[in-house]
Amino acid sequence: MNAIISASELAEELAGTTPPVLLDVRWQLSTAKAAGAPPFDGRAEYAAGHLPGAVYVDLDGELAAAPGAHGRHPLPDVGEFGAAMRRAGVSQGRPVVVYDGGQGWAAARAWWLLRWTGHPNVRVLDGGLPAWKAPLSTDVPTPAEGDFAPVPGARGLLDADGAAALARSGVLFDARAGERYRGEVEPIDPVGGHIPGAVSAPTADNVAPDGRFLPAGELRARFEALGATEDGAVGVYCGSGVSGAHEVLALAVAGIPAALYVGSWSEWSSDPARPVAVGPDPQ
């Protein structure tokens, strides 16, 4: 099953007999607070206009636990996540389509969590809200309670030790911008650099200028050139497990399964005992 869906395909499915559940996960990493500007408000964006029938899901409150020792966006409590998804109308036997404001990071985080906890049919709207050309709605739906019961998977998730080991035994991608990987700048976390052995693979290089994913063949060629194969162990991390989920999604489009280190650099760099590499070389 494809992990993404085009706007035209989604319109057809919404008009069909078994329309998917729509989740609006608009969110963006914002440093506006430091500049004195108001932070991004995904709920307000949703209220101003969303895909008809879509239910808003809050990334910080429902797709992550509170920031702490395990990073800025650690895994949510599984029971609380399941309750949030059921409130949104998510059921095991009904497809789900997730979208955000176009960057794709937040939608990918929801996609990854639902897939990791056992939902069999989740896709991300390719290109997000900007790809949707039909009218939007301001009506807030009240979906029937879903029946989704999350069961975390045995695979697909890395902790700090697992990420460090994978950087030596397989391929661990760092999905952040190259300058953060190299340690030239670090606007958020305690220290710049990367996990020793990790390979720089910025998420921004997986999409075209309009925010849509590159064709699967191009993505596959990109990742294979960086050392990934569908038979080898592949993992991804980023700053806090959000843009990294987008890279896992890109790898899925390319036909290469990958695990996610959810704690990512925000967890890794918080422990001064963990090694840090700087510069363009993985080691």
Residues taking part in catalysis: 238
- With b for 16 or more beta-carbon neighbours within 10 A and e for fewer, the 17-39 pattern comes to eeebbbbbbbbbbeeeeeeeeee
Do residues 5 and 99 touch, judged by C-beta distance below 8 A? no
- CA of 139: how far to CAs of 26, 31, 50, 87, in Å? 17, 30, 9, 17
Who contacts 114 (Cβ-Cβ below 8 Å, separation ≥6)? 85, 90, 96, 98, 122, 148, 150
Q: At what angle do helices 243-253 and 105-116 cross, to 10 degrees?
A: 70
Polymer length of the chain = 283
Taking the C-alpha atoms of 10, 16, 19 and 22 in order, what is their torsion angle to the nearest 10 degrees?
30
Token readout for 28 is: 């963006």
Token readout for 55 is: 């239910």
